Amino acid sequence: MDDERKVTFPGRFDSLAPISEFVGCAAEAAGLDERAVYAVQLAVDEASTNVIEHAYGGEGRGDIEITCRVNSHGLTVTLRDHGSQLDPERLASLNLQATLQERNGGGLGLYLMHQLMDEVGFDSSSDCGNILTMVKRKKAAPRSDTR
């Protein structure tokens, strides 16, 4: 039952609503519950915003290619851009206990994505650009006791 759809959106803030609609429809098609659909939309919104602000350094400087793959386990969303490469090691040292004034300005979005999704992976290369892959699995249906 694998179904894959790919759409390229302009790297602009006014693309965020159509991106959310696209991934929301895919999440519903994957059989995710309402809460999981919202989590997917929020994670992808954060990722898309980061692409626009950080990878491209502003609006209209590149596209965001989004692929949604629905299968029997849930949904895989892949975002690809061709902006500046991200160094995930720099974000790995995020101190969640620090005050806002003490923070180095970044990393909370990636933390949020990890909290909302079941898996988050990042690959950055000059050949393929930046590729962010996020997975949201369906919750197992409650078992009925048949004693």
Tell me the mean pLDDT in the region 42-68: 96
Residue pair 85/130 in contact (Cβ under 8 Å)? The answer is yes
* Residue 126: C-alpha distances to residues 25, 82, 85, 122, 143 (Å): 31, 8, 8, 14, 47
Domain assignment present for 102: yes
Say what the pLDDT of residue 143 is.
62
Say what the pLDDT of residue 104 is.
59
Domain assignment present for 142: no
Say what the pLDDT of residue 36 is.
98
CATH of the domain at 99: 3.30.565.10
Residue 107: give the domain boundaries. 3-137
- Write the pLDDT tens digit of every residue in 76-121: 999 999 999 876 565 555 555 666 566 555 667 888 999 999 999 9
Say what the pLDDT of residue 86 is.
73
Identity of the amino acid at 5: R
Helices 108-116, 34-50: axis angle to 10 degrees equals 160
Phi, psi angles (nearest 5°) of residue 146: -110, 40
Domain assignment present for 20: yes
Domain assignment present for 30: yes
pLDDT above 90 covers a percentage of the chain that reads 67
Which two tokens mark 116?
């909302």
pTM above the 0.95 mark?
A: no
Tell me the mean pLDDT in the region 129-141: 90
Domain count, the chain: 1
